[in-house]
Amino acid sequence: MLPRSTHLQVPIGQHVYLKLTITGTEIVKPYTPVSDSLLSEFKDPVLPNNKYIYFLTKIYPAGLFTPQLDRLQIGDFVSVSNPEGNFKISQFQELEDLFLLAAGTGFTPMVKVLNYALNNIPSLRKAKLMFFNKTEDDIIWRSQLEKLAYKDKRFDVEFVLSAPTSEWNGKTGYISSGLLSEFLKRSSDKSKVLICICGPMPFTEQGIRLLHDLNFSKDEIHSFTG
């Protein structure tokens, strides 16, 4: 919760930096605020009196920053920067096909993008998420994603695991031209497309190379990097 009389509206696709002092050293990490739920309506403009910022964080027990973040109590303070990022809402204009490629916590910028597109873009025909993780237990908000796909027939999600159990019946492996060429089907030959990608830097760089090989233009691709 933000301090009294404080308002911070973080635009879609932008991130903030959280700062903690750990053993006398200031540590700063980027985080992308998310909606409180994938199943709630996301209307624009966001009311400026919203005093809450929501984050999805993965706690790494051996890490330096996230364990300290996890130990914060109500009443503790964290420094939050002004928003940063180069995503423009104009990229949604007359959008018909939205494709999201996320690996691990690279899912977080997709939350607001997906919520906004489904609730505010009349021209949108379909939105698809390909979500790469190591195991089933690593899939963030799996239940909400599956419920959203059931609720809104324009949305579909595909999970891809790199280290699945023998019981897994879904897709496996890593980002590849084979997976992408099957996934990135336009609703029509000339439909307006936006492809958003986020994850570890090797994932993002490889994904962009593959998208260019599949003849998607620079204007049709947005990579989130923080």
Q: Provide the pairing of β-strand 16-22 with 79-80.
A: antiparallel
116 is in an annotated binding site: no
58 is in an annotated binding site: yes
6 is in an annotated binding site: no
153 is in an annotated binding site: no
171 is in an annotated binding site: no
Ordered DSSP codes for the chain: -PPTT------TT-BEEEEEEETTEEEEEEE-EE-S-TTS---SSPPTT----EE-----TT-SSHHHHHT--TT---EEPPPB----GGGGTT--EEEEEEEGGGGHHHHHHHHHHHHH-TT--EEEEEEEESSGGG-TTHHHHHHHHHH-TTEEEEEEESS--TT--SEES---HHHHHHH---SSTT--EEEEEESSHHHHHHHHHHHHHTT--GGGEEE---
Binding-site positions for FAD read 30-31, 56, 58, 108
Binding-site positions read 30-31, 56, 58, 108
